[in-house]
């Protein structure tokens, strides 16, 4: 019994081992087939790099073809220009030969004439040249007369030389096609009164900023600073000084339109009432959108006898003043 059992176990073990080997070989065959199929698919479908290279090659071929076409067209144009130039040169030679031949015939004819006939011939020739020149001048004159000369208007102002303003001055803002009177004197008077009451604050701080107004749509913002005196080493002190001030409009539509400002009942005329034109200068603070209005207002003010000072300002730049600023120059 023991022997037959051993033979059976040995036979069973061999068969199992062969089955395992067969299964492994089958799996390997399947893997090889799958790998072959995948490689075949990859071979049939090109990669992105190959596609990009193919597209670039096709574009380069198209560009080369276009360049060859352009080169061919340029070559044809050069040949045509060369042929045309050769024809013109040949025609020029023919004309020069004809002119020389005609001149020789005229010289021979003139030499064969008697002295009196020769002089008449020269006079007739000069007369023909003079008539041709006269006809040309007459045509040019007729062309010139047919063109109407443009009318140029020259405007003269009372004082063409600018002069620094030292007398009374009234200020207007020209912005957005509108004219607005700036109550500069009233705002400065209120500033002086307020600044005297705030000087004490400069004992404890270097500078202070405040505002007054609004008056007639404008307010004044100012900055005072403390200036220390150190010239005398045995004496120390300080005094207040205006650093800068700006006149700010409280609205964008202040004043009146330029077309209304020249009317007899306008706000502009009201601002000028009671002022002596001989002792008053009108300063126009003008922004880039109102340069045309500036010229119109200047003409009107000159007509009324006022001197006018122009102060152009860039967009967004406020009307201001400082101790280091310049005075207005009037015309």
- How high is the pLDDT of residue 46? 63
Residue 114 clears pLDDT 70, i.e. is over it: no
Confidence of residue 203 (pLDDT cuts 50, 70, 90): confident
Q: How far apart are CA 171 and CA 87, in angstroms?
A: 76
- Would you list the DSSP string of 127-188? HHHHHHHHHHHHHHHHHHHHSPPPP------S--S-EE--SEEEEEEEETTEEEEE-HHHHH
Confidence of residue 278 (pLDDT cuts 50, 70, 90): confident
Confidence of residue 162 (pLDDT cuts 50, 70, 90): very low
Q: Which residue has the tokens 């539509």?
A: 253
Output the average pLDDT for the chain: 77
Taking Cα atoms as reference points, which of 328, 321, 173 lies closest to residue 250? 173
Given a contact cutoff of 8 angstroms between Cβ atoms, the answer to whether 242 and 222 are in contact is yes
Residues whose CB falls within 8 Å of the CB of residue 163, separated by 6 or more in sequence, listed in order: 307, 329, 330, 331
Residue 218 clears pLDDT 60, i.e. is over it: yes
Confidence of residue 232 (pLDDT cuts 50, 70, 90): very low
Q: Which of the listed ranges 64-78, 144-158, 315-329 does the model predict with the highest average pLDDT?
A: 64-78
Residue 78 clears pLDDT 80, i.e. is over it: yes
pLDDT over 70, % of the chain: 79
Q: How far apart are CA 202 and CA 200, in angstroms?
A: 5
Q: What is the pTM of this model?
A: 0.45
- How high is the pLDDT of residue 315? 86
- For residues 119 and 7, which has the higher predicted lDDT (pLDDT)? 119
If one counts every other C-beta atom within 10 angstroms of the C-beta of residue 312, the result is 14
Residue 110's SS3 state is helix
At how many degrees (to 10) do helices 48-112 and 115-146 cross?
140
């Amino acid at each position: 019994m023991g022997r037959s059992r051993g033979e059976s176990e040995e036979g069973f073990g061999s068969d199992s081992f062969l089955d395992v080997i067969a299964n492994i070989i089958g799996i390997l065959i399947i893997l090889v087939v799958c790998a072959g199929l995948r490689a075949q698919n990859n071979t049939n479908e090109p990669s992105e790099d190959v596609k990009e290279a193919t597209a670039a090659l096709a574009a380069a071929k198209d560009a080369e073809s276009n360049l060859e076409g352009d080169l061919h067209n340029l070559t044809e144009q050069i040949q045509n220009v060369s042929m045309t130039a050769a024809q013109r040169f040949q025609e020029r030679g023919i004309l020069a030969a004809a002119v020389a031949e005609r001149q020789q015939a005229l010289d021979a004819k003139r030499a064969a004439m008697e002295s009196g006939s020769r002089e008449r011939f020269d006079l007739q020739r000069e007369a023909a040249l003079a008539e041709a020149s006269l006809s040309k001048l007459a045509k040019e004159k007729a062309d010139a007369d047919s063109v109407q000369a443009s009318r140029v208007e020259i405007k003269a102002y009372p004082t063409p030389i600018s002069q620094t303003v030292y007398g009374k001055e009234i200020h207007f803002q020209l912005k957005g096609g509108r004219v607005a009177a700036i109550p500069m004197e009233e705002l400065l008077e209120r500033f002086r009164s307020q600044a005297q009451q705030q000087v004490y604050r400069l004992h404890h701080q270097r500078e202070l900023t405040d505002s007054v107004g609004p008056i007639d749509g404008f307010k004044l913002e100012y900055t005072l600073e403390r200036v220390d005196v150190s010239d005398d080493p045995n004496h120390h002190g300080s005094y207040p000084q205006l650093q800068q001030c700006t006149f700010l409009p409280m609205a964008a539509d202040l004043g009146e339109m330029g077309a209304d400002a020249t009317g007899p009942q306008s706000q502009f005329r009201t601002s000028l009432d009671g002022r002596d034109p001989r002792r008053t200068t009108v300063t126009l603070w003008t922004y880039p959108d109102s340069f045309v209005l500036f010229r119109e207002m200047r003409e009107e003010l000159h007509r009324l006898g006022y001197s006018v000072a122009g102060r152009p300002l860039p967009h967004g730049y406020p009307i201001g003043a400082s101790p280091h600023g310049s005075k207005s120059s009037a015309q």
